[in-house]
Chains A and B, each alone.
Chain A
């Protein structure tokens, strides 16, 4: 993931609940094989629109995220491997 990142891109775990963003890059190397596979299954891919919807009650972990039409829950650590570009 050496693609140049847009200056205002942030990692997904820092995106506020209710803010939409586009996935800019995923650091697949930071995830183990199974986790990377599952994220792909959920449709995390460059260009996809995502929106954090809910945070876990303890330590704000995991995070429920809307990906396309699906809602998935992933841990903060996984979200940290996904760089997003906030929309507006």
Chain B
């Protein structure tokens, strides 16, 4: 069977390429990786009018075929048929921002020169109109020699027309007669400007929306204040909005374990299912609402175009510690998860800038820490309102984020003056127009995250939870003995405890630290598993985990535990992705050691201070 026709979607950054791709393929998408490089490959399916399927691939945004970043190199290689693991595309859809033709046409001209069957999607025509720009797509079509279709991808307008054009293009017999003539960039740019000018029907100068918004959002004084407020609201929302759905999930887990318990014979099997699998995984999936809220904000900030503004505002400060404003985006993504954050560093051109960003990314409080923070904060910090709408718990949470950020900046500063000495790279970014991202695209993004999280809960977390349950349950304790002491896990924990006792960690924490290496959130399920094994008489779900913690831990220990998790590199995936991104074990090992040292020292300082203050 012949492989499906492959149509590549190409265009400059901020042309609305991904929105167009989403509009064409819907939610049926596959996210993979190009072999050998860390550039994501997004592909999906489009069905033509006669039912034939077509594979669509969304190429990374590029300004030209002369790459200035690894992303752009992939785009060039795919288009020239040189990318490993990718067929040469059969046809091309070029996405252009209608209001930025003089720039985007340069790349389009280069692409048309490749000689593949090509369609141009003249996108965001609504924004161009809003800015007083009227274009003549027919004139553009004549000048370029390929079909031009007007679209508004975010509103799903012009999509049927584009699909029909793709249909026509693939049905028509095609013979490649073009020789690849490579025009130089400057020449192309001038031609692009001529064509763009010729395509303009009328232009009324209007005060642009984006400009007005930027006057406020990039204001030297209000800009940073608004940024701080947005971040604050985001973290308050993570707490406040998640309360109700979290309670539903908790009730659901309790109901499930009560329902399952009587169905299984009392003994090891019931213990494994109820105390191991349900208690462990249940404890973790209650944090799904918070993770989704966090990702919702990040997707929204990215989709509206605000994220780049945040990078602009932060650049000088980041530059001060040897990073660039570009690092702000990977670092902000790391609040969701360090893995995509570290992968996003590939947009940083300077290798030392990039390495520094990778090394400090795990200090950004990722969503996997939320379960740990939430649990400890809920158990030990009183739920008081400081002023209307601002709770003490939210403030403590915000504080933990601030400690992480400060730690990251200090670490970057030290790294840039030590092992990664060198002149910083630059900061060059396009500030796209503001727009409201389509609700559907945000939902697609959230669903993908949700899937990834549940898959993790179902595999790594379930696996480690069951192993931990086994280690914690065997051998069975005799009368008068505590299960968490006599078991294999108990003995291992005794060893760890010897090391971490000085910083205030107790036996339960020592027990949780080891499986938490797999993923931080496992420490919550580990503690849940241990307590539920230790108290077999209690009805499952009868005592909430946080109530148990209040009895067993001192406040000083709880605070030290929080401090530990601000720094500790407890995540196998992060270590693995760092190894892949830095091509070796040297930097991941360096990262793990410096973070463990920081975690130990900082947890120790917290504990000793808290004890000295009599907490």
Q: A residues bordering B, Cβ < 8 Å?
A: 34-35, 37-43, 45, 53-62, 64, 67-75, 77-78
A61 touches B429 (CB 8 A): no
Q: Which residues of B contact A37 (CB under 8 A)?
A: 66, 68
Stretch in B97-105, B496-504, B541-549 touching the partner: B97-105
Q: Which residues of A contact B215 (CB under 8 A)?
A: 54
A64-B312 contact given A37-B66, A72-B428, A73-B428, CB 8 Å threshold: yes
A77 to B215, CA, bound (A): 23
Q: Which residues of B contact A45 (CB under 8 A)?
A: 186, 189
User: Shortest Cβ distance from A63 into chain B, in angstroms?
Assistant: 10
**Does chain A have a CB within 8 A of B430?**
yes
27 contacts between A and B (CB under 8 A): A34-B68, A34-B350, A35-B428, A40-B185, A41-B64, A42-B63, A43-B102, A43-B189, A45-B186, A54-B218, A57-B313, A58-B316, A59-B316, A62-B312, A64-B312, A68-B100, A69-B103, A71-B214, A71-B431, A72-B430, A73-B315, A73-B427, A73-B428, A73-B430, A75-B315, A75-B427, A75-B428
User: Shortest Cβ distance from B220 into chain A, in angstroms?
Assistant: 4
Within 8 A of A (CB), among B83-115: 99-103, 106
A59 to B426, CA, bound (A): 16
Determine the interface band of chain B, counting residues with CB < 8 A from chain A: 35 or more
Q: B residues bordering A, Cβ < 8 Å?
A: 63-64, 66, 68, 99-103, 106, 185-186, 189, 193, 210-211, 214-215, 218-221, 223-224, 308, 311-313, 315-317, 319-320, 325, 349-350, 425-431
A42-B325 contact given A56-B313, A68-B103, A69-B103, CB 8 Å threshold: no
A38 interface neighbour in B186, B313, B319, B428, Cβ under 8 Å: B428
A62-B315 contact given A38-B428, A71-B430, A74-B428, CB 8 Å threshold: yes
A57 touches B223 (CB 8 A): yes
Q: Which residues of B contact A39 (CB under 8 A)?
A: 428
A42-B103 contact given A53-B211, A62-B312, CB 8 Å threshold: yes
A69-B64 contact given A61-B315, A74-B427, A78-B426, CB 8 Å threshold: no
A57 touches B316 (CB 8 A): yes
Q: Which residues of B contact A58 (CB under 8 A)?
A: 316-317, 320
A6 to B308, CA, bound (A): 35
B429 touches A57 (CB 8 A): no
B319 touches A42 (CB 8 A): no
Q: Which residues of B contact A42 (CB under 8 A)?
A: 63, 103, 428, 430
A41 to B215, CA, bound (A): 25
Closest to B190 in A: A45
A69 interface neighbour in B100, B189, B223, B312, Cβ under 8 Å: B100
Q: Which residues of A contact B218 (CB under 8 A)?
A: 54, 64
A38 touches B312 (CB 8 A): no
A63 to B386, CA, bound (A): 39
Q: Which residues of A contact B315 (CB under 8 A)?
A: 56, 61-62, 73, 75
A2 to B537, CA, bound (A): 87
A59 to B316, CA, bound (A): 7
Closest to B68 in A: A37
User: Shortest Cβ distance from A17 into chain B, in angstroms?
Assistant: 11
Q: Which residues of B contact A59 (CB under 8 A)?
A: 316
A77 to B423, CA, bound (A): 13
Q: Which residues of B contact A53 (CB under 8 A)?
A: 211, 214
A60 to B315, CA, bound (A): 11
User: Shortest Cβ distance from A41 into chain B, in angstroms?
Assistant: 3
A64-B103 contact given A37-B68, A54-B218, CB 8 Å threshold: no
Q: Which residues of B contact A56 (CB under 8 A)?
A: 220, 312-313, 315-316
Closest to B193 in A: A68
Q: Which residues of A contact B426 (CB under 8 A)?
A: 35, 38, 74-75, 77-78
A67 to B428, CA, bound (A): 13
Q: Which residues of B contact A54 (CB under 8 A)?
A: 214-215, 218, 312
Those 6 A-B pairs whose CB atoms lie nearest each other, nearest first: A41-B63, A58-B316, A54-B218, A71-B431, A57-B220, A37-B68
A87 to B475, CA, bound (A): 85
A69 touches B102 (CB 8 A): yes
A70-B103 contact given A55-B220, A61-B315, A75-B426, CB 8 Å threshold: yes
A73 to B106, CA, bound (A): 20
B312 interface neighbour in A35, A40, A73, A78, Cβ under 8 Å: A73
A62 to B214, CA, bound (A): 14
Q: Which residues of B contact A68 (CB under 8 A)?
A: 100, 102-103, 193
A71 to B212, CA, bound (A): 13
User: Shortest Cβ distance from B187 into chain A, in angstroms?
Assistant: 11
Q: Which residues of A contact B211 (CB under 8 A)?
A: 53
Q: Which residues of A contact B429 (CB under 8 A)?
A: 72-73
A41 touches B427 (CB 8 A): no
A41 to B308, CA, bound (A): 18
User: Shortest Cβ distance from A39 into chain B, in angstroms?
Assistant: 7
B224 touches A57 (CB 8 A): yes
A55 to B224, CA, bound (A): 12
A35 to B423, CA, bound (A): 14
Closest to B12 in A: A41
A60 to B219, CA, bound (A): 11
A71 to B64, CA, bound (A): 18
A70 touches B325 (CB 8 A): no
Q: Which residues of A contact B64 (CB under 8 A)?
A: 41
Q: Which residues of A contact B189 (CB under 8 A)?
A: 40, 43, 45
User: Shortest Cβ distance from A33 into chain B, in angstroms?
Assistant: 9
A70 interface neighbour in B100, B221, B311, B427, Cβ under 8 Å: B100
Q: Which residues of A contact B214 (CB under 8 A)?
A: 53-54, 64, 71
User: Shortest Cβ distance from B573 into chain A, in angstroms?
Assistant: 30
